């Protein structure tokens, strides 16, 4: 269609500028196909990079969740066995006292010693470790002082006797020892036994 026919159809008598129609037709021409493809490629590459980054983050989160769940499972199993062993310690203490008691029946004493040894060995296989306290320096993290005795026969703050044995379980303190502690004469605090 020519510019004259457009003006005739519109009923206007103004002349149409051929340059303005040329620029209008140039604006309506499709952009450069290579530039459009390049822009689309760049956009798709950016989207791909973003999706790949999201994928890697999701994969890392999944791995971390799996490791955390495994760690929690192991800790739960260890905690459960810790509580079971802690509940058995009074029985172990009773067996130990029974083996130290004098008995007129030697076979009975021998049987008690065998039962105690089997029980102790089973707990040891699970991870129970006794802590030696007698003769050691007093450590408030491992020892619970129930008696303090003034004496010059032992070094100050040395464990003299053990009333209840301390145990570690899998490297952690399960129960502190109840002990008698030596103190230098004249340094015993008031209010102590």
Q: What is the pLDDT of residues 78-117, one digit of tens each?
A: 788 888 999 999 999 999 998 888 888 888 889 899 999 9
Q: How is domain 33-126 classified at the CATH fold level?
A: Hemagglutinin Ectodomain; Chain B (3.90.20)
Nearest to 177 by CA among 161, 192, 193, 188: 161
The helix (run of H) or strand (run of E) holding residue 96 is helix 33-100
Same fold, 33-126 and 130-193: no
Domain boundaries, given as residue ranges, for the chain: 33-126, 130-193
Nearest-angstrom CA–CA distance, 129 and 100 = 20
Nearest to 81 by CA among 138, 20, 123: 123
pLDDT value, residue 182: 92
pLDDT exceeds 50 at position 180: yes
Average model confidence (pLDDT) across the chain: 84
**Assigned token pair, 22:** 């040329």
Class of domain 130-193: mainly beta
pLDDT value, residue 3: 47
Q: What is the pTM of this model?
A: 0.59
pLDDT value, residue 192: 47
């Amino acid at each position: 269609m020519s510019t004259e026919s457009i003006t005739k159809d519109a009923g206007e008598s103004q002349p149409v500028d051929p340059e303005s129609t040329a620029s209008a037709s140039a604006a309506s021409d499709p952009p450069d196909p290579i530039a459009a493809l390049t822009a689309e490629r760049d956009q798709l590459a950016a989207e791909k990079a973003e999706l790949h980054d999201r994928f890697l983050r999701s994969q890392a989160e999944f791995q971390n969740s799996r490791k955390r769940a495994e760690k929690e499972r192991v800790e739960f199993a260890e905690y459960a066995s810790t509580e079971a062993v802690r509940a058995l310690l009074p029985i172990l203490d009773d067996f130990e006292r029974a083996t130290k008691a004098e008995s007129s029946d030697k076979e009975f004493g021998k049987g008690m010693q065998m039962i105690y040894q089997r029980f102790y060995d089973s707990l040891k296989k699970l991870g129970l470790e006794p802590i030696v306290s007698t003769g050691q320096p007093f450590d408030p993290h491992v020892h619970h002082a129930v008696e303090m005795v003034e004496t010059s026969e032992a070094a100050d703050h040395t464990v003299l006797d053990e009333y209840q044995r301390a145990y570690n379980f899998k490297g952690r303190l399960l129960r502190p020892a109840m002990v008698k502690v030596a103190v230098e004469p004249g340094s015993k605090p008031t209010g102590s036994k």
